[in-house]
Structure 1
Amino acid sequence: MKFATQLIHGGPAVDPEYGSLCHPLYHSSTFAQQSMDHFGRFDYARSGNPTREALEEAIASLEGGSTGLAFASGMAAISSTFLLFSPGDHLVVCEDVYGGTFRALSTLFARWGLTVTFVDATDISAIGAAILPHTKAIYLETPSNPLIKITDLRQAAALAKRHGLLTIVDNTFMTPYLQRPLELGCDIVLHSGTKFLNGHSDVVCGFAVTADPEVGKRLQFIQNAFGAVLGPQDSWLVLRGLKTLKVRMEQSQSAAGQIVQWLESQQCVTKVYYPGLPSHPGFQVHREQASGAGAVLSFELESYILTKRLLEGVKLCAFAVSLGGVESILSYPARMSHASMPAEEREARGIKDTLVRLSVGLEDPADLMADLDRVLNG
């Protein structure tokens, strides 16, 4: 099936008992058993729930993986994946990684004994140079958050395989509609499903999808043992949101392209980060591994005063944390997504105090540009 058809028909079948087109919502925390010797498919909701399982199967199918797991947040999915490793293990991580991931690695897992080397992952030789005898995985975001850097996933995965490492990719910005890292040779795909997968700013959730069933079993054990699972109500809402993923992404991506062109023509905008721009350093690599540029972009303004005026003055873009909703969201990485990263670390990575990130929603792009123009040039 094509992707749009798979979104509608590739998930749970029509309810055979009543013909419901929506998968039933099972709120039960526990399930009655008929035999002491043979328990049923479900026993306790932390270990499995029919509604959550339907969502997990849908996500695994969309990413082309063997095992899909739904977590209570994107960070729960990321942190649970880090629990695959042991104290003394080493990871190579892209340098402008999401601030929450940086915080978990530099505090919680550092105290636990997991070591990390941050590198410019756009340079495959830099990734290779950072690999040590005790390295176990390469962790990537592409496009990265918030500087929209592009990593060549085929090359990174091939490098990892030569060294016997796992390749883990946060695919939140692209979604499986635009990019499928497992098909490029990667091993684990992560998502903050709060964003585009759910798409309506009303659920916090995360996902992990594995290519190898054995890795999936290990991560499934961690999910059950650690317990940061997604509840049935939220699972049902994400199942509903997934059905419109393709049309939402196409509309938002189209609008983002128009807004990027407008931003590039503004004198007060000093730089625009978007993988759909031919001037973007990762433009060609991105074209070869993804089918679109997505709906998230970042741009720098000429002054901090103008940046503050924009964030506090826009009407149609919500000035808020997060992205990927039906409404456009304008974020300030220095005090939002990367607030947990020390100022000197942000500066070293190029995350300036004049940088803003825009997730384009489903509003008419002409209205969004008029709103931005009113503040920037009014």
Structure 2
Amino acid sequence: MPKKHNWHKETAMIHEGYDSKEHQGSLAVPLYQTATYVFDSAEQGERRFAGEESGNIYSRLGNPTVRVLEERIAKMEEGAGGLAFASGMAAVSAVLVHVTKANDHVVCSRGIYGCTFGLLKIMEEKYNITHTLTSMRTEEEIEKAVTDETTCIYVETPINPTMELVDLQAVSNVAKRHGLRVIVDNTFCSPYIQTPLTFGADFVLHSATKYLNGHGDVIAGLLVGKDQEEMQKIRSTVQKDFGGVISPFDAWLLLRGIKTLPVRMDRHSSNARILFDYLKKHPKIEEVFYPFDDQHPQYEIAEKQMKTGGGLISFTIKGGKEEAQKFLNSLSLVKLAVSLGDAETLMQHPATMTHSGVPKAERDKMGVTDSLLRLSVGLEHMDDIMADLEQAFNAI
């Protein structure tokens, strides 16, 4: 097992969980592209299956490349243990299955990813696990949503795609008073910008497809918890039996992407800040939503729990669905695509894309209107991004 260090986060993203001396001196983490492992003896296989001896058994249960990734993300999020999954939704599903049972209740931030909303509907229809969406503006508002059946509070912050913020400390205060677990989707920020466990959350998860990978070529999810034994329980039950594990190759790609996360996030954030100033003054835009806008009603929360504003901006275009789609269809450099966190600048229409599965009444409550667009600011030169946006604005 590699030695633990008190490195700064930027250093841990390159080195945590790996000792080249244990891998024939390889500087890069080796790709262990294998499904199973050979035992020295039948007795060794028995001991490993019984949990009496550590070691590899089968890559659904553990893999050396994946193990480095899990240790690295745990360190980055200041947690005790990490688990890697085949997608962000596999991570969401695993932790929600772990903390709930039939007839329980979940309190959720008002805006959540469309597929997370879909999962909650499935849980309600099949197991009567109900949920309440609330804006979580105050501790009192969160408290009102808690019932005798509530078992956990599920939070996105910033919220997808409206960029509303949730005060993580306030959520944790309420959770402690009621003995509830707190789960935070930290995809929009990455652990470079925000570490929810330090504000009292029990679990933090990521669609690692996004900023952690950063290159648009991996589908993956990560989950970190503050209790090592509990994370091991999730590994040996929900993850093992549901089987939504990451492939060694995708884990290897993620490890490569994470090495440059701090540099990329600084560039995403600085580009977004410049673009925010441009969009805020544009005559064809009604509103712009960005966490580090000093006019944002929750700016104090952003300053308290986020290092920078990140690379995502949402805005409402003057008009409606027709104008929004005409604008999107006029883009050239900026790519019309869902997802976020890639080197390329991406834009999408949440109401008809990522949140199309959410009923319109719920979308309206979330603020996901037909005129809302979500922009993931990439790493290109800002002059080129703005020139493309400007020509698209001129087309409407």
Alignment of 1:7-46 (within 5 A): 7-35=13-41, 36=43, 37-39=46-48, 41-46=55-60
**Would the aligned equivalents of 1:99 and 1:337 in 2 still touch at CA under 8 Å?**
yes
Distance 2:185 2:137 in 1: 15
Report how far residue 15 of structure 1 moved. Answer: 4.6
Contact 1:306–1:376 at 8 Å: present in 2 too? no
Q: Report Cα offsets for 1:225-261 as digits up to 9, x if no partner.
A: 1110000010000000000000000001000000000
Asked if the contact 1:122/1:149 (under 8 Å) is kept, the reply is: no
2:136 and 2:335 map into 1 onto residues whose CA distance is: 31
Q: Give 3-state SS (helix, strand or coil) of 2:94's partner.
A: helix
Cα deviation, 1:296-339, whole Å, max 9, x if unaligned, reads 11000001332112211111111001101111110110111101
Instruction: Work out the CA distance in 2 between the residues paired with 1:127 and 1:214.
Output: 29
State the partner residue of 2:208.
193
Please list, as runs of the form range in 1=range in 2, the aligned pairs for 1:236-275 lying within 5 A after superposition.
236-275=252-291
Q: Secondary structure at the match of 1:225?
A: helix
2:79 alignment counterpart:
65
Matched, 1:312 2:329: yes
Match among 292, 297, 312 for residue 276 of structure 1: 292
Normalised by the length of structure 2, the TM-score is 0.93
- Specify the alignment match of 1:210 in structure 2: 225
- The CA distance in 1 between the partners of 2:60 and 2:332, in whole Å, is 41
Q: Relative to 1, partners in 2 of residues 1:29 and 1:326: Cα closer, same or farther, differing over 3 Å? A: same
**Identical aligned residues as a percent:** 40
Q: Give the counterpart letter for 1:275 in structure 2.
A: P
Aligned twin of 1:353:
370
**TM-score of the superposed pair, with normalisation by structure 1:** 0.97
**Greater CA drift, 104-113 or 179-188:** 104-113
1:372 aligns with 2:389: yes
Deviates more, 1:101-110 or 1:317-326: 101-110
On the 8 A contact 1:119/1:130 being kept in 2, the answer is yes
How many Å separate the matches in 2 of 1:18 and 1:212? 32
Point out where structure 2 has 5 or more consecutive residues left out of the alignment. 1-6, 49-53
1:362 aligns with 2:379: yes
**Which 4+ stretches in 1 moved above 2 angstroms?**
15-18, 37-40, 107-110
112-121 or 319-328: bigger deviation: 112-121
Secondary structure, counterpart of 1:128 in structure 2: helix
Matched, 1:230 2:239: no
Of the three residues 343, 353, 357, the one matched with 2:360 is 343
Counterparts in 2 of 1:335 and 1:115: CA distance versus 1, 3 Å: same
- Give the match's secondary structure for 1:177: coil
Cα deviation code 1:28-59 (max 9, x no counterpart)? 11111123243351111111111111111111
Q: Does 55-64 or 210-219 show the bigger shift?
A: 210-219
CA–CA separation in structure 2 for the residues paired with 1:238 and 1:17: 19
Aligned counterparts of 1:282 and 1:199: Cα–Cα separation in 2 = 27
The structure-2 alpha-carbon separation of the partners of 1:4 and 1:17, relative to structure 1 and needing over 3 Å to count, comes to: closer
Q: CA deviation digits over 1:319-375, x for unaligned, max 9?
A: 001101111110110111101101121122211101000011100111101110111
Q: Is 1:160 the counterpart of 2:175 in the alignment?
A: yes
The 3 A distance-change label for structure 1 pair 362 and 15 is farther
State the distance in 2 between where 1:268 and 1:135 align: 44
Tell me by how many angstroms 1:214 deviates.
3.2
User: Amino acid of the residue matched to residue 16 of structure 2?
Assistant: G
Show the counterpart of 1:53. Answer: 67
Q: Please, which of 136, 149, 162 is the counterpart of residue 147 of structure 1?
A: 162
| Residue of structure 1 equivalent to 2:96 | 82
Determine if the alignment matches structure 1 residue 123 to structure 2 residue 138.
Answer: yes
8 Å contact from structure 1 (residues 256, 295) kept in 2:
yes
- The 1:349–1:16 alpha-carbon spacing in structure 2 relative to 1, beyond 3 Å, is closer
Gaps of 5+ in 1: none
* 1:180-234 Cα distance to aligned partner (Å, 9 max, x none): 0001111000100000000100000001100122321232121111110000010
Q: Specify the code of the residue in structure 2 equivalent to 1:57.
A: E
The structural deviation recorded for 1:63 is: 0.3
Residue 102 in structure 1 maps to residue 108 in structure 2: no
**1:7 is matched by which residue type in structure 2?**
M
Distance in 1, matches of 2:82 and 2:58, equals 19
Q: Structure 2: how far apart are the matches of 1:121 and 1:18?
A: 51
What is the CA distance between 1:17 and its match in structure 2?
A: 4.7
- Once residues 32 and 80 of structure 1 are traced to their aligned partners in structure 2, the CA distance between those partners, rounded to angstroms, is 29
Distance 1:362 1:314 in 2: 17
Number of matched residues? 378
What's the RMSD between the two structures over aligned residues? 1.2
3-state SS of the aligned residue for 2:201?
coil
